[in-house]
Amino acid sequence: MMDLGLFFAVLGAAFATFFAGIGSAIGVGKAGVAAAGVLTEDPSKFGKVLIFQLLPATQGIYGLLVAFLILSNVGILGEPKDVTLLQGLLYFASSLPIAFAGLFSAIHQGKCSVAGIGTVAKKPDQMGKAIILPAMVETYAILALLISILSVFGVANVNM
């Protein structure tokens, strides 16, 4: 049963990177297409549109973060530890918030970024406002990250 616990923990790490990563890839990809379009007209806006493209990139990093925390807690990285089945399942459950909130928030943040790029293309001075709107979407990824991190920390301290 020890092995199964480890399996679920690694599955959790995989979920976190996998789904949040997909979301970020889609979001960044969408924003990148729009950014490239703006650059054909005005290459000097590169710095501005790049920021918009990077906004949906964070979910993937949050996923990586949670995955890394799980891996180091169960001893895949660093010293090996014993993981019970229950602990493994708990780690798996901990990864779910960032996996799915990350997936969907990154996609929608990407859409929002595309719109923001459109705003900046026409009104470069409205950058500050345009950047806040995609940042609103990110809130939910942050909340998910928070719960995932707190859960991972909590599971590590649970003795089972």
Q: Is 25 among the residues that bind another protein (CB under 8 A)?
A: no
Which of 29-37, 84-92, 103-111, 131-139 is the region at the interface with another protein (rule: CB under 8 A)?
Answer: 131-139
Q: Please identify which residue in 2, 124, 129, 160 interacts with another protein, judged by CB under 8 A.
A: 129
- Three-state helix/strand/coil letters over the chain: CHHHHHHHHHHHHHHHHHHHHHHHHHHHHHHHHHHHHHHHHCHHHHHHHHHHHHHHHHHHHHHHHHHHHHHHHHCCCCCCCCCCHHHHHHHHHHHHHHHHHHHHHHHHHHHHHHHHHHHHHHCHHHHHHHHHHHHHHHHHHHHHHHHHHHHHHHHHHCCC
Q: Please identify which residue in 54, 89, 93, 115 interacts with another protein, judged by CB under 8 A.
A: 54
Cβ 4 to another protein, closest distance in Å? 26
Cβ 159 to another protein, closest distance in Å? 16
